[in-house]
């Protein structure tokens, strides 16, 4: 990362700035934090500090709620996305096993061919 890139994961924004950026109330943001929908970091005095990624997430939560989703349904959507990410990105070990199985199958079929 070059020195001029924006660090979207750096948690430096206080609640007052997040309130202005998102249009959410402090109470709403605290509730989403308590529900595990967003996980801001904590400062020295235990104050919540938000990153730009957290702000994006809060805006996404607000959009879901405006669309009629419940908090439980938002959690389900998140869980599905996580499962999909885990399923679409096979591990190195599982790739090795798939390749070994494929090579074994090729060997079996080559030995059964009759000309």
Same domain flag for 31 and 52: yes
Same domain, 79 and 112: yes
**Residue 100's domain spans which residues?**
71-115
Name the DSSP letter for residue 31: H
**Angle at Cα 13 formed by Cα 11 and Cα 17, nearest 5°?**
155
Helices and strands in the chain: count of H runs, count of E runs: 5, 2
Give the pLDDT confidence of 47-84 residue by residue, as tens digits.
999 999 999 999 999 999 999 999 999 999 998 888 88
Rounded to two decimals, the pTM is 0.69
Torsional sign, CA 8, 19, 22, 37 = positive
Q: Are 35 and 76 in contact (CB under 8 A)?
A: no
Are residue 65 and residue 90 in the same domain, yes or no?
Answer: no
pLDDT over 70, % of the chain: 87
Is 4 contained in some domain? no
In a domain, 2, yes or no: no
115 in the same domain as 77 = yes
């Amino acid at each position: 990362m070059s020195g001029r890139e924006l660090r979207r994961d750096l948690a430096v924004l206080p609640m007052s700035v997040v309130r202005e950026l998102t249009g959410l109330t402090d109470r709403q943001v605290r509730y989403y934090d308590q529900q595990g929908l967003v996980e801001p970091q904590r400062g020295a005095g235990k104050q919540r500090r938000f990153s730009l990624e957290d702000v994006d997430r809060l805006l996404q939560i607000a959009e879901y709620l405006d669309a009629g989703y419940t908090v439980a349904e938002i959690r389900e959507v998140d869980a599905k996305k996580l499962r999909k990410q885990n399923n679409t990105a096979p591990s190195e070990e599982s790739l090795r096993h798939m390749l070994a199985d494929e090579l074994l199958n090729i060997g079996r079929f080559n030995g059964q061919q009759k000309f």
